[in-house]
Amino acid sequence: MISEKIILGIDPGTTIMGFGIISVKKGKMEMVSIHELILKKYPNHETKLKYIFERTLSLIDEFHPDEVALEAPFFGKNVQSMLKLGRAQGVAMAASLYRNIPITEYSPKKIKMAITGNGNASKEQVAGMLQNLLNLKEFPTKYLDASDGLAVAVCHHFNSGTIADTKSYSGWESFLKQNPDRLK
């Protein structure tokens, strides 16, 4: 039996990317770290993707997560924004798979539902509930994208052992088997 599990949660973004890390010991959650990667200062999308990959790898190398959970891109009206978000998520997935860390995706509604009981909760409501769930006196970051990354990790813990509405991959081979349409 595993005595401790470390979960890295990622909220992909191209302006701010949020990361939250929790430790679970005997079913008790504890926040280990919360980070954000500020990307709006970089000149182009390719540079942002490079920094997303490098930052995700550095967090994996520093905290040694057992699992990575990501927020799946939501479907919006702006196709260009969706493509950029999908690329950001893909780069974070690639970094995780590069280090052979299993990944799981969760929809934004599922994350909000797991944390607050309301799939339409605001970012502020999610952050407030996380503060309560993790017994934080104050929230350690001003960026709600970072708290969203933490929410993904907590959602993953709450959903451990269930498969509904998620996709999990243990490596490139697993990813390609479950997504044959992405192989060209």
Question: Using N-to-C axis directions, what is the helix angle for 123-133 and 144-158, rounded to 10°?
Answer: 60
Catalytic residue chosen out of the listed positions 11, 36, 67, 105: 11
Spell out the alpha helix ranges (H) of the chain: 45-63, 79-98, 108-116, 123-133, 144-158, 172-178
DSSP 8-class letter at 100: T
Query: Is 145 assigned a ligand-binding role in the annotation?
Result: yes
Catalytic residue chosen out of the listed positions 36, 71, 105, 148: 71
Select from 22, 57, 51 the least CA-distant residue to 154. 22
Catalytic: 11?
A: yes
Instruction: Specify the 3-state DSSP secondary structure of 105.
Output: strand
Catalytic residue chosen out of the listed positions 36, 67, 105, 145: 145
Catalytic: 181?
A: no
Query: Is 165 assigned a ligand-binding role in the annotation?
Result: no
Instruction: Specify the 3-state DSSP secondary structure of 171.
Output: coil
DSSP string covering 51-70, please?
HHHHHHHHHHHHH--SEEEE
Query: Is 71 assigned a ligand-binding role in the annotation?
Result: yes
Residues designated catalytic = 11, 71, 145
* Residues placed in the known binding site for Mg(2+): 11, 71, 145
* Residues placed in the known binding site: 11, 71, 145
